[in-house]
Amino acid sequence: MRSLFTLLLITLLWTSIRAQEAYLSLNVDDSQPTISKHIYGHFSEHLGRCVYDGFWVDENMDVQKKDRIRLDVVEALKKINIPNLRWPGGCFADEYHWRDGIGQRAERPNMVNTHWGMGVEDNSFGTHEFLELCDLLGTEPYIAANVGSGTVKEMNDWIEYVNYNGESTLAKLRAENGHPEPYNVAFWGIGNESWGCGGNMTVEYFADVYKRYATYAKSYPGAPIKRIASGANSADYHWTEVMMKEARRHMWGISVHYYTIPTGDWGAKGSATSFTEAEYFNTMKNCLFMDELLDKHIAIMDRYDPEKKVALAVDEWGIWTDAEPGTNSSFLYQQNSLRDALIAATQLNSFNNRADRIRMANLAQTVNVLQALILTDKEKMLLTPTYHVFDLYQVHQDAQLIPFSISTPDFVNGDKKLPAVNVSASLDQDGKVHITLVNIDPNKSITIKSAVNGIDWKKVSGKVLTSGKVTDINKFDQPEIVKPTVFNGAKKTKDGLSVELPARSVVMLELE
Ligand code: AHR
């Protein structure tokens, strides 16, 4: 009887140990798509303290600046190679009139930012300032044109002003304002959330509006443009269906916006820093819904465009919590925890794995707003856990996707469960393989046994981002609580690769 009990105990223990094993098979294959670097794009809106008091600061602030652009922020972003920056919104884009933001700053009109707190916007940061910022960052601009309260002519003029290389009145005005050379901006968004803050249109109506605008969004000689249609709100598949049916020939891409709301309730989204394990589980469930959402939008696109000419641009994504207590709730300032890093890493894996269709994505928003990479407090600046994910993942930019199959244990909470491990992998131009692994289970480490087929490799090295708790954050007086360190938990075995993936971690491995 006693020995039967011992056997049962050993079997149970063994099962639970084995249950924490994942199996991963990677298959390097030349036919795979490139992971566009533009999946690693960002978004900066005239909202709260993103542009003003984020990138663009008071001339008396005691930090290094070019004009009023804060250079410590620029330097930090340059290190992670941000490929594009979307501007000026968001909802703000559909009330922005570009002529207000050019010429002598003292003469620029003051406007009210009606979407984001009714504050006065002095237009000191306009087209030239944005394009100067992009130049300093070494990043491609992505300009969202005003459809909601603008006109076709206004958009058409803006593109000519920015891109025309000739003797037109608008090109001369650009030269008078300090930039004789055309800027050659390729990415132009036509509308933003045209189903909501961008005009509350039905898609049947918007499809025609879009085509009218797209017709006059001109490519000038030497400056071909990529038109991106305002796309669906989250799981509004009908929007994608109608736009693909009616307007696909007029677009480089179509967008979709999806935010992870911890509670799933826009009225009470949940705290950025204080949450239970059950709340954490729910947040990760909402984050993983992105996979279903993308697959359904992509399936619709595939029906109309089997050759995958039209890109899906996830040009707003990220976790959206309640604003930090004590801050202006319209400014959407939120802290950023290890949970946010796990979300960013998971979503970037999802985008990479759909690189044949997803060719752009933009995290909302770069500095001081929503899931920010950088937070500032007067002269101080800190890098968030999310920043470090973009640092680890930059190896995937423009690398070739590696397909895989995986079996993973679950992250269990009560009677609910989610896949604990997610992954993406790529082969870079130097022949190095990079694997990014996420373990969303907050308590259990997981052993991964992996076969890497189709390539010879000799050594593995890596970095890990983790911390004691999923609620851990970086603070202005302790800015390095969550930061990447060297990872020694991976080794080459006779069967392939073995990895001890810590609980609540993001790991980036390099095989060469
Ligand atoms: O990113 C904040 C807001 O979210 C954007 O302005 C809008 O497009 C979306 O609803």
The three-class DSSP label of residue 34 is strand
Please choose, from the candidates 87, 77, 81, the residue with its C-alpha nearest in 3D space to the C-alpha of residue 43: 87
Pick from 91, 113, 365 the residue to mutate for probing ligand 1's pocket: most ligand atoms within 8 Å of its CB: 91
List pLDDT tens digits, range 402-430: 999 999 999 999 999 999 999 999 999 99
Contact 301/237 with Cβ under 8 angstroms? no
Q: Which two tokens stand for residue 388?
A: 């470090």
pLDDT of res. 259? 98
What is the arithmetic mean of pLDDT over 38-62? 98
DSSP strand pairing (140-145 vs 187-190): parallel
Q: Which two tokens stand for residue 217?
A: 């969004």
Which percentage of the chain shows pLDDT scores above 70?
96
pLDDT of res. 30? 84
pLDDT of res. 495? 87
What is the arithmetic mean of pLDDT over 330-344? 98
DSSP state of 220: B
- Is the predicted pLDDT of residue 3 greater than 70, yes or no? no
Determine whether the shortest distance from the Cβ of 90 to ligand 1 is under 6 A: yes
Determine whether the shortest distance from the Cβ of 191 to ligand 1 is under 6 A: no
Separation of CA 512 and ligand 1 centre (Å): 41
Q: Whose CA is closest to atom 9 on ligand 1?
A: 90
Please choose, from the candidates 163, 161, 150, 143, the residue with its C-alpha nearest in 3D space to the C-alpha of residue 87: 143
pLDDT of res. 451? 96
Q: Which two tokens stand for residue 509?
A: 């491995």
List pLDDT tens digits, range 13-35: 444 444 599 999 999 988 999 99
Separation of CA 318 and ligand 1 centre (Å): 11
Determine whether the shortest distance from the Cβ of 315 to ligand 1 is under 6 A: no
Q: Which atom of ligand 1 is nearest to the CA of 91?
A: 6
- Is the predicted pLDDT of residue 142 greater than 50, yes or no? yes
- Cα(372)–Cα(51) distance, integer angstroms: 12
Contact 280/271 with Cβ under 8 angstroms? no
Which percentage of the chain shows pLDDT scores above 90?
95
Q: For residue 279, indicate whether it is catalytic.
A: no
pLDDT of res. 179? 98
Q: For residue 316, indicate whether it is catalytic.
A: yes
Determine whether the shortest distance from the Cβ of 193 to ligand 1 is under 6 A: yes
Separation of CA 91 and ligand 1 centre (Å): 6
- H helix intervals, 164-235: 169-176, 203-216
Contact 407/447 with Cβ under 8 angstroms? no
Q: Which two tokens stand for residue 21?
A: 């094993």
Q: Whose CA is closest to atom 3 on ligand 1?
A: 90
List pLDDT tens digits, range 82-124: 999 999 999 999 999 999 999 999 999 999 999 999 999 999 9
Please choose, from the candidates 40, 51, 132, 135, the residue with its C-alpha nearest in 3D space to the C-alpha of residue 93: 51
Separation of CA 497 and ligand 1 centre (Å): 42
What is the arithmetic mean of pLDDT over 169-179? 98
Determine whether the shortest distance from the Cβ of 192 to ligand 1 is under 6 A: yes
Determine whether the shortest distance from the Cβ of 391 to ligand 1 is under 6 A: no
The three-class DSSP label of residue 250 is helix
How far CA 260 is from CA of 272, 294, 346, 459, in Å, comes to 12, 14, 12, 37
Determine whether the shortest distance from the Cβ of 89 to ligand 1 is under 6 A: yes
The three-class DSSP label of residue 24 is strand
Q: Which atom of ligand 1 is nearest to the CA of 364?
A: 1
- In this prediction, residue 12 has a pLDDT band, given cuts at 50, 70 and 90, of very low
Q: Whose CA is closest to atom 8 on ligand 1?
A: 90
Determine whether the shortest distance from the Cβ of 364 to ligand 1 is under 6 A: yes
Separation of CA 437 and ligand 1 centre (Å): 29
**124 exposure class (CB count in 10 Å sphere: 0-12, 13-18, 19+):** middle
Strand partners, 65: 70
**Mean pLDDT of the chain, nearest integer:** 96
Give the chain's radius of gyration (CA, Å): 24
- 169-181 as b/e: b if 16+ CB within 10 A: ebbeebeeeebee
DSSP strand pairing (400-401 vs 421-427): antiparallel
What is the arithmetic mean of pLDDT over 135-158? 98
**Strand locations in 95-139 (E):** 111-113, 119-121
Contact 354/31 with Cβ under 8 angstroms? no
Task: Give one DSSP letter per residue of 312-361, joined into a string.
Answer: EEEEEEEE--PPPTTS-GGG-----BHHHHHHHHHHHHHHHTTTTTEEEE
DSSP strand pairing (460-465 vs 485-486): antiparallel
- Is the predicted pLDDT of residue 164 greater than 80, yes or no? yes
List pLDDT tens digits, range 209-230: 999 999 999 999 999 999 999 9
pTM over 0.85: yes
Please choose, from the candidates 364, 146, 362, the residue with its C-alpha nearest in 3D space to the C-alpha of residue 255: 362
- H helix intervals, 110-192: 127-137, 152-163, 169-176
Task: Pick the catalytic residue from 193, 279, 324, 480.
Answer: 193
Separation of CA 147 and ligand 1 centre (Å): 15
> Which residue matches tokens 């131009």?
429
- In this prediction, residue 347 has a pLDDT band, given cuts at 50, 70 and 90, of very high
Separation of CA 284 and ligand 1 centre (Å): 21
- Is the predicted pLDDT of residue 502 greater than 70, yes or no? yes
What is the arithmetic mean of pLDDT over 343-348? 98
Pick from 87, 257, 258, 261 the residue to mutate for probing ligand 1's pocket: most ligand atoms within 8 Å of its CB: 257
What is the arithmetic mean of pLDDT over 42-64? 98
List pLDDT tens digits, range 187-213: 999 999 999 999 999 999 999 999 999
pLDDT of res. 359? 98
What values do phi and psi take at 359, rounded to 5? -120, 10
Neighbours of 480 (CB within 10 A): 9
Contact 179/135 with Cβ under 8 angstroms? no
